[in-house]
Structure 1
């Protein structure tokens, strides 16, 4: 029987994911109780708030667009506290969420996050007065948001953060509280002739 490392399972997984500890050896032989299958724990985990592009790409179904958006938010200082934040932000189907869940570790680096308290606002379509009362932002920031969305609808939180130069805390407060609907299909190209 292979000897297990003395660290607790979570610490062992993190050290293995970082490459500081070798992977557990494959199960040798058959279990002495084959009818009692134990769930296999993931061989790697990522810290969602510190993950690299390569780590995100390990997740099944994680597209380059998702990786780009997550890294842009991370560079802007945004952190996630639960898988539901990611699911809503990336519009993940439940099956994909369940595939990702065993591999994700949510470590908060700093003050505790605020949880959403109301129905999501549509930053591309809701009236300025509604946005001002729900977001409680300074008037000049609301005016920049309105001007920017007229120029081009916002695509996601990373786009919003970059175009409005929002601090990380302002973006974190929006996770789960906003959506980016009402985007037109885009300008049509003139026919080639």
Structure 2
């Protein structure tokens, strides 16, 4: 009798597999539940998340990012209009002084796509453009003398706030600004928000 009990479930499974018997109703329910559970726990596909091309994004796209202020968008748009491009996340984080929580929330959406020939990233320590001595500026930046003199004159009038401010006041070409991303800082400036909105 025990042998017959052992064979019955096996025979039943075989007949269900060949389609001669319908599946057990309890098992069918469990399978449907398991499938639904797997569907819910499945990670989102890349199509489910949106992305933003850092070097071509519109103000509206930037504003979709949590915590992206109008002042940040203003600086990014000014640099974009000036032809400046970003090659990596660190440069953007440094420019906007982003806190870690925003970096984590922005990262999945940011795409750093270079438009044109990619530049060679220099490895140099940050240089404070508002406080560095003229001789140090000359040695580090390797700029033409008229451009260097203009930088020194402009910073005497008012400290630079960020790269966009520097580009506009010193009339820098895009490639010169790109070489400064991640290499310079603007430490000696008035207290207050680092990226004040323009009036």
- State the TM bucket, normalised to the shorter chain: 0.7 to 0.9
User: d(CA) in 2 for partners of 1:75 and 1:31?
Assistant: 48
What do you get for the CA RMSD once the two structures are aligned? 1.8
| Other-structure match for 1:38 | 43
Q: Which has the higher contact order (CA 8 A, sep 6+)?
A: 2
**TM superposition outliers: structure 1 runs of 4+ over 3 Å:** 39-42
What's the TM-score, normalizing by structure 2?
Answer: 0.74
Q: Distance in 1 between matches of 2:45 and 2:74?
A: 30
1:134-187 per-residue CA deviation (whole Å, 9 max, x = no partner) reads 00001111110000000010000000000011000000000000001111349x
Paired position in structure 1 for 2:105: 99
Rg larger in structure = 2
Please state how far the C-alpha of 1:82 moved relative to its aligned partner: 1.1
**C-alpha contact (below 8 Å) 1:48/1:106 kept by paired residues:** yes
- The aligned residue for residue 71 of structure 2 is 65
Match of residue 49 from structure 1: 55
Distance 1:56 1:170 in 2: 24
| TM-score between both structures, scaled by the size of structure 1 | 0.76
After superposition, where does 1:136-147 map in structure 2 within 5 Å? 136-147=142-153
Match of 1:170 in 2: 176
Aligned to 1:133: 139
1:179 match: 185
Q: Displacement, 1:39?
A: 5.0
